[in-house]
Amino acid sequence: MAELFHGEAEAERQVLVALRWAIEFTLVILVVESVGAYLSHSLSLTVDAVHNVPDAVAFAISWTALRSAGRGTSESYTFGTHRAEVFAGLANAALVAGTGAVFAYVAVSAFLHGGTFDGPIDPVWLLFAAIPTFGLRAVNTRLLGKIPGRVRDLNFRSVVLHVAGDLAITAAIVVVGVTVLLRPGWTWVDPAAGLAIAGVLVFEAAPLFRDSWEVLSERTPRHLSMAAIERTALGVAGVAEIHDVHVWAVCPTLVCMTAHVRVSEMSVRRSMDVVAKLRDAVAAQHGILHAVFEVEVAPTPASSAESRTRSRVDRNGIPPSGVGADDPR
């Protein structure tokens, strides 16, 4: 039977719908900006238009990865396919960084050779494409912003980052169009904006690479403190000690934990109650949704003395003189 560790099926459904909208908006914007870029000869608009291609692919990867993760666990994938979300984030970052690097080179070349990217810039066509694009991206950003923050995995956060960054980029392109319309001689603002946009794309990709690497290398999530987690565990009644603590993420929304906890001598039923309280505590205070605790019983003074006595019995089971042996006298 499929099992969703996230436990928020409705919220994940909202994410899937938002991703579908992001794909559709991006495809419409791609058409509008492609026409505008061709007719306006603007480098900044061309960069943004081409940037829509990896965006659409990345959003589709994100949607597919989340659908795959939503199928739950199987015998082959006991944690499900949540790591697909991380690989999608990596692919997303690589596509955006690659686009930024290519157009940074084009922008620098335009500066070095002087002039414009592809002939005289037509600011009217530039604004004709940039203004409706800004409106579409503003609506898309608002839709994505309504998704609950607690279910925004690495993959979905990369989409939100894309759209928010794209909105700022479009605003810059509108400024370029207005500037060239009012100051026809200031054509240098277009390659300057193109270079800035390329830099934004590379900057967007950097944290996604970092976060993906940290998940794949099983680093303790940055937002968690091992000391705070241990304090939470020790605050549960009956827990005397916690050790061998391991915390990692299968994906950013599925944080896992294993630990050994030492409790006072108690019944099995009571020890299971302690484990249940531990799980509730780390889930509520730290967002750790999958925690496994191995219970150990703390030795009592009597059991410690008995253990020391047993350790003095030789391997043949014959106690040494003075330790439980008959006095020969």
Burial of 27 (0-12, 13-18, 19+ CB in 10 A): middle
298-308 average pLDDT score: 55
**pLDDT value of position 326:** 47
Average pLDDT, the chain: 78
* Domains along the chain with CATH numbers: 9-216 (1.20.1510.10), 226-298 (3.30.70.1350)
What global pTM score does this model have? 0.63
Beta-bridge mates of residue 246: 258
Q: Is the pLDDT of residue 226 over 80?
A: yes
Most confident of the following: 52-61, 69-78, 121-130, 163-172: 121-130
Q: Is the pLDDT of residue 138 over 50?
A: yes
Q: Which residue has the higher pLDDT, 307 or 112?
A: 112
Beta-bridge mates of residue 258: 246, 292
223-252 average pLDDT score: 90
